[in-house]
Amino acid sequence: MQRGLGTQLRHLIELLDGTVAEQYRRENLNYRPRYTPVMRALMACSPLSVTEIAEMAGITQPAATQTIALMIREGLLVSESSREDSRQKVIEMTRHGRDLLPRLQTCWDAVTTAANSLDSDLPFPLSQLLDLAIEALAKKPFETRIQAARQTRRIPKKEKCRSPNVGAPHHGS
């Protein structure tokens, strides 16, 4: 049975992030892979609003908000009122967060080398393929594609205990 696109993507993330998370544990770092885009954004420019972090990191605002909240609880970041507009909160690294950067950079260098190795083992670099997929979805979101599929072909209601068509491509989760 062919696995769906969502299943494949989750499995790929498990294989990549799980290994990276283990690398951090081996280095005695209380740090999650999902923190890296936020840390890199703050390394480039600080302080930043949550919206600015989301944009620079290339993640959604809800994902940035959740990740930042975890990082604040773990003492890596702090949220303060903006000097320009006291109604707006800005985020910056704590001293503890900044102190981790040299050790994190060592891990990030190893991860980058490993990612380059993976790309070289593939007929088309995964990183480029992911960029192309993200661009295509920005132009035509998956929701639009699903709606178009529903309009162009009538999707049958699920039958009780019907055997799957193993030969047909399946891209659902």
The domains of the chain are located at 5-121, 123-154
The class of domain 5-121 in CATH terms is mainly alpha
Write down the pLDDT at residue 3: 86
Write down the pLDDT at residue 155: 56
Residue 126 and residue 81: Cα distance in Å, rounded?
40
Determine if the pTM surpasses 0.85. no
Long-range contacts of 167-173 (CB under 8 A, 24+ apart): 169/2, 170/2, 170/3, 170/4, 171/4, 171/5, 172/4, 172/5, 172/6, 173/4, 173/5, 173/6, 173/7, 173/10
Please give the average pLDDT of every successive group of 10 residues along the chain, which has 173 residues.
88 93 94 97 95 95 97 96 83 97 96 94 92 94 92 67 53 55
Write down the pLDDT at residue 136: 96
